[in-house]
Amino acid sequence: MIRIGTRKSALALWQAHQVKHQLEALGHPCSLVPIESTGDQNLTQPLYSMGIQGVFTKTLDTALLNDQIDIAVHSLKDVPTQLPEGIAITAQLERGSAKDVMIYSSHFKGWEKEARIGSGSLRRKAQWLRKHPSHSVENLRGNLQKRMEKLEQSQWSGAIFALAGLERLALLKENFEVLDWMIPAPAQGIVGIASLEKNTSLNHVLHKIHSEKTAYCAHLERTFLSTLEGGCTAPIGAHAYWEGDQLYFKGGLFSLDGKTAIVVEEKHPNNNATDLGIKTAQKILSHGGKELIQQIKAQL
């Protein structure tokens, strides 16, 4: 019996059930072990002030190391780029949408000059303010259902969500707009499975539900993030994707108010680009990124 550790939110359970179904289809019985994370317990404090590194993953890491679970299922965008010793992301499911979406409130009649929107993400806030500098972005935390409820109870014009989560829980209503221009979080839309490196027989099983194409793009995005962040919680976006045999990569670093943006786009004709995330991040650092990160650290 494979014990699958998961957070308790509806989206986390949906993801864990996907892993369970795929493993059981291969003949491996599974059971779910729901565990509450620090990030789920505190829904008022902004994520960036909680020490974002591992805020949703630490309790599952501990459960893995203490042999309470065999695997942990995560939204990969929540997983720190540096994992605890002995733990690895051993499989990634085929990616859902990487895009962000604006959900309009039921009383939305059109954009006012000084509109208010909800988001708990520095990345979304910075990019929205860059496009709409007269708007204000207010903190929005909680699971998807709670955030949707808060939106309806607020006076906001709308709130920004990850498209993949809304699609997975069938929460996408008619009143929305896909934000194609917004650079997503690194690994957004990807379900990652963590396990102990030493558990080789289990990891061999997990590889059967692993998507190499997804993992390749996630590697580029996460190495981009780790090269840039240097322990800093900053508004960083990255997206790698294939169109035919062309690999595209777009990465960006933004000031907190969105007024400064350093964005690099790359295109490669083949898959021999495993260091593309690092090289793109280094370009950003050499074009004012180092100074911008220092400014962000001083402001947080």
Catalytic residue annotation? 78
What number of other Cβ atoms are within 10 A of residue 270's Cβ? 8
Do the beta carbons of residue 147 and residue 161 sit within 8 Å? yes
Which residue reads 């990124």 in tokens?
A: 289
* Residues 6 or more apart whose Cβ sits within 8 Å of residue 299: 256
Do the beta carbons of residue 212 and residue 91 sit within 8 Å? no
At 53, list the tokens.
Answer: 């590194």
Rounded Cα–Cα distance for residues 237 and 32 (Å) = 32
Rounded Cα–Cα distance for residues 280 and 220 (Å) = 9
> What 3-state class would DSSP assign to 37?
coil
